[in-house]
Amino acid sequence: MSGRASAPSPAGSVSPAALRGPLPADKYRLVRHLLAGGASRPPEGATLLDVGCRGCELKPHVSDFAAYTGVDLMQNRAGTVDHVLDVERGLPFPDRVFDYVVAMDLVEHLNGFHEGMVELARVMRRTLVVVLPNLAHLRARVSFLLRGRFGFTDKYDLAHGPVADRHRWVTVLPQTDAYMRWFAGEAGLGLTVAHVNDGARKQAFGRVARALGVPPALWAWKVVYVLERPEPAAAAEPRA
């Protein structure tokens, strides 16, 4: 894990302490840990938008502290997606309406990566959590070298016939880190980064690689970007 954090977190912000030490391997538990674990304090009546929610697996992890809304391109089997829509055509919500916006393994599916990020940030009032895969990982490199394709996913394969969902971008470190730093600067947002692995074997590999000083690009399976809108400056006290 690596991170950059700054000042103490007000209600609704991710505590810097939440990104120190071991992080949960499961991505849904990880989101809960970031938003409501440790010193992080959700605001009263918090709202959360899960973009690319699939089966709404995140909902039970956050529903005790935030009103959950799920958005996806397709309705799931249980019929629990609140809004079925194409994110690339825009989100049907006002500006800064959700305290938390979560996009796990979503943005790499969009033709307009940057346009998608702008739209996610538009509806976010406090915190945006974006999770991206890192295809510069050593396993991905070896897989492509030996097989001529990524053997652990079919999202990049040339399918026969139309495909409803696929990855449009090969997201790799350090490119995604550089983009997120630039985006946060342009949008006036704070940024914290965590390079993480899910699963016991991947976590063990990551620990050894970190100890040996191996760059995160070679061992991090996923990257978590936490973008936060700064609190408005308090009005100065009038002078007597």
Q: What is the pLDDT along the chain (240 residues), one digit of tens a residue?
A: 333 333 334 555 676 666 666 778 788 999 998 898 765 678 889 999 999 999 999 999 999 999 999 999 999 999 999 999 999 999 999 999 999 999 999 999 999 999 999 999 999 999 999 999 999 999 999 999 999 999 889 999 998 998 878 899 999 999 999 999 999 999 999 999 988 888 788 888 988 999 999 999 999 999 999 999 997 765 455 554
How much is the pLDDT for 198?
80
Q: Is the pTM of this model over 0.75?
A: yes
In the chain the domains, ranked by start, together with CATH numbers, are: 16-135+167-228 (3.40.50.150)
How much is the pLDDT for 4?
38
Amino acid 240 reads A
How much is the pLDDT for 166?
85
How much is the pLDDT for 239?
57
Helix, strand, or coil (residue 67): strand
How much is the pLDDT for 122?
98
Cβ-contact 160, 46 below 8 angstroms: no
Residue 132 CB neighbour total at 10 angstroms: 24
Residue 69's contacts (CB-CB under 8 Å, 6 or more residues apart) are 47, 48, 49, 50, 82, 83, 98
